[in-house]
Structure 1
Amino acid sequence: MAARVTLQTIADRVGVSRMTVSNAFSKPDQLSASLRERILAAAQEVGYVGPDPTARALAKGTTGAVGIVLTSSLRFAFTDPVATSFLGAIAEQLGPTGLALTLLTSSDEGEVVPARDVAIDGALIYSCDPTSLAVQYLTRRRLPLVYIDQTPVDGIAAVNVDDRAGARAAAQHLIDLGHRRIGLLMSGVHGRHGLIGPEDVTVDGHASAQRLLGWRDALDAAGIVPLMARQDGSVLELAKAGARLLLDRPDRPTAILCFSDAVAYGALQVAEELGISVPAQLSIVGFDDSPLATQIRPALTTVRQDVVAKGRVAAEALNAAIEDTRAGRTVTAEHVVLPTELVVRGSTAPPPA
């Protein structure tokens, strides 16, 4: 059986102290470049990869990892283009800090509950139900937290985009084109599925609520009562089901405002299936300006949010909160709102005569 390789093994081989070898891995700035190269070369020769991460974490009192909690399944993080861009920006921003990103589900089933049991130094709460057990567990653990696309609360840093202003601009764009029969295709709406009246809307989620408020700001001012479709989620089949409720009817709207570009794509597909020309007979507006917006035809008029900036700002806020906590300082819980911008493309036009 091969002898166990330790820091002392490398120290004896190079002729330095055990602490010097440790510094070569954890504090390279305290060694000359040539000495560090000698130590790392000796470690490579004997197959030593560095101090045990678990022992190092115990010694430092940190894990070197942060979590991000998603209400949706983890598949969402790898299939939704907005989520993947957002997560990529976070990972890139965290890279130089040495913090690793761990995806956590909000599931509370099984022996291991990620938000309760996984060792992390802090967490990002991304578009989650604030009453979920995952959020409650993380709060009870007194970890540094940052909310993203959540309703801000005192004492916790938050990063949002100006959903309301973006949605207002989208609705006003349709009104300015001359549309008066306008449909709303929403996500994050729970209850009876189908067409609903303005008095029946119960919206779940900060972004959904803010976008609905923005649409209604412009529509109410113009005296327009929209036709609204309720759906629970934004996957393609649900989006298509909601769009069909709006479009497969004799008094269909001449324009639809959609919660997201993914939902708008579902509306475009239903319009094609029903033989409705976009934008000659129907205008469609999305939200996000995801890569999908320019891949589909006609290219989608949408509201741009900078998801890369959102990810970077969120990662910076969490890193700062972790450093403040380690130093015993009061965490600066800043609430950041990033701007949105209407991007007009080929999916909108004046209504048919």
Structure 2
Amino acid sequence: MSATKPTLAHVAARAGVSISTASLAFSESGPIASATRERVLAAAEELGYRGPSALGRQLRSGRTGIVGVVFGDALRRTFRDPVSISVLDGVTRTLGERGLGVLLMPGGTHYDSPDGMNPLLETAAVDAAIMLWGGHSSDPVYKILHERGIPVTICEGAEVEGSPTVSVRDREGSRAITQHLLDSGHTRIAVATLPLGGGFGPGLVSDYDIDAPDLPYWYPSHRRLRGVYDAGVTPVAIWSTQGSLVEEGQIAATNLLNPANYVDASQVPTAIVAQSDLLAAGVVQGARQLGLRVPEDVSVVGFDGVDLPWLGDDKLTTVDQPLAIKGEILAEVTIDLINGNVGAPIVLDTAVVNGTTSGPAPRR
């Protein structure tokens, strides 16, 4: 064989078929006999032909083979979060098994573009996009993608016509873990929330209206907070954090457990519901820095069910959600979306997992 790189024409000639027939053999579609396909593939192997150009396939199909994943924050923070990593693992693994690649796109508003948005949202060639944490019809990220005609899957956001949604029963999970604390005798319960948005926080929230309409961009935070109220608990205090970070949990603990922030020291909580496991881990550390024992003096519960081996002997009492499965489902419904099929909303179950960071309410 010559040093010339083999082409589809060379393969067709070796197999004794037309170029169009050889092309059909590689595309695995169209009216072609199995014996003919095998003859073409055998000829390709003999010649060292690897298959049609990926770029050529893209040009012919009008598809890129790439799915954009919009994660809404700085990459360095996303990759500190085991929740994001677990979901991304499920997404990328499932898409990869179907021959699709992933382009990570921060969706924040700190860029030098005219609207402050990531320029990739305007220019990236993708077949579809997954908004990893929230989204709604008036979200600027969604609007950019929608105006470009890019189909969008939304994770933990609002239902939007034409966009499949995947979420978990976090309101029910939050209610269940609050009930767990009530069953242990706790009556003074505080909450460390993920960002609430809508003018709330960061800091103490003094005027939260449980009956107010949902703020669409911050659905998970409000759903989880309302789950606490669903259990019949009015929190003694609510601290809105700036994000799911251990240090934010430490700040929350310092404030929620400070007697100076209460009219009467007897109002200081004996339990704190944190809206993520990273926040809960920070609350545990913050409580101990104040000289409090966990769970003897204060119980701490989280949300997510992630593995945090660096907590040592502590095992968080938490709400487990199927993170990797969520990522796999996000990928599957996005593949369906690329093929023109919009599925019904998918909501996944959660479950309380008892750990070592919660116990009976202290007698004081």
Which bracket does the TM-score occupy, shorter chain normalised?
0.7 to 0.9
What is the identity, as a one-letter code, of the residue corresponding to 2:176?
A: A
Offset at residue 258 of structure 1 (A): 0.2
Distance 1:35 1:155, change over 3 A: closer
Is 2:324 the partner of 1:308? yes
2:126 pairs with one of 120, 125, 129: 120
What amino acid is the match of 2:338?
A: I
The corresponding residue for 1:209 is: 222
C-alpha distance in 2 between matches for 1:295 and 1:319 = 38
Distance 1:37 1:275 in 2: 73
Give 1:292 shift.
1.8
Is residue 231 of structure 1 aligned with residue 236 of structure 2?
no
The unaligned stretches of length 5 or more in structure 1 are 326-330
Matched residue, 1:328: none
Structure 1 residues 332, 4: CA separation in 2 closer, same or farther (over 3 Å shift)? closer
1:299 partner SS: coil
8 Å Cα contact 1:219/1:226 also seen in 2: no
| Gap change, CA 1:309 and 1:151, over 3 Å in 2 | same
Which residue is 1:7 aligned to?
Answer: 8
Question: RMSD of the TM alignment (CA)?
Answer: 2.7
Equivalent runs, 1:50-129 vs 2, <5 Å: 50-107=51-108, 109-110=111-112, 113-129=119-135
Secondary structure in 2 matching 1:268: helix
Find the counterpart in structure 1 of residue 169 from structure 2: 162
Any unmatched runs of 5+ in structure 2?
none
How far residue 14 of structure 1 moved from its aligned partner, in angstroms, is: 6.2
Greater CA drift, 314-323 or 171-180: 314-323
Equivalent residues of 1:68, 1:125 under 8 A apart: yes
Match of 1:42 in 2: 47
Whole-angstrom CA distance in 2 between matches of 1:332 and 1:192: 36
Distance 1:155 1:42 in 2: 46
Q: Which has the higher helix share?
A: 1
Number of matched pairs: 339
Range with bigger deviation, 154-163 or 8-17: 8-17
Residue identity in the other structure for 2:156:
D
SS in 1 for 2:231: helix
Q: Give 1:184's aligned residue.
A: 191
Give the Cα separation in 2 of the matches to 1:122 and 1:78: 22
Question: Residues 293-328 of structure 1: CA distance to partner in whole angstroms, max 9, x if unpaired?
Answer: 8954321100011112212222221111221x2xxx
Task: Kindly provide the amino acid, as one letter, of the partner of residue 298 in structure 1.
Answer: D
In structure 1, which of residues 241, 244, 251 is the aligned counterpart of residue 251 of structure 2?
241
Alignment CA distance shift 1:32-1:265 (3 Å): same
1:253 alignment counterpart? 269
Q: 1:69 to 1:11 in 2, by over 3 A?
A: same
Q: How far apart are residue 51 of structure 1 and its match? A: 2.7
Shift of residue 334, structure 1, vs aligned partner = 0.6
Structure 2 Cα separation of the partners of residues 183 and 293 of structure 1: 26
Tell me what 2:160 maps to. Answer: 153
TM-score normalised according to structure 2 size: 0.83
Question: Any idea what SS the aligned residue of 1:288 has?
Answer: coil
The answer to whether 1:322 aligns with 2:323 is no
Percent sequence identity over aligned pairs: 33
Secondary structure of the corresponding residue to residue 184 of structure 1:
strand
Question: Structure 1 residue 145: deviation in Å?
Answer: 1.9
If the length of structure 1 is used for normalisation, what is the TM-score? 0.86
Q: How far off its partner does 1:69 sit?
A: 1.1
Q: What SS class does the counterpart of residue 199 from structure 1 fall into?
A: coil
Match for residue 197 of structure 1? 206
CA distance in 1, matches of 2:207, 2:140: 31
Shift in CA distance, 78/17, structure 1 to aligned 2, threshold 3 Å: farther
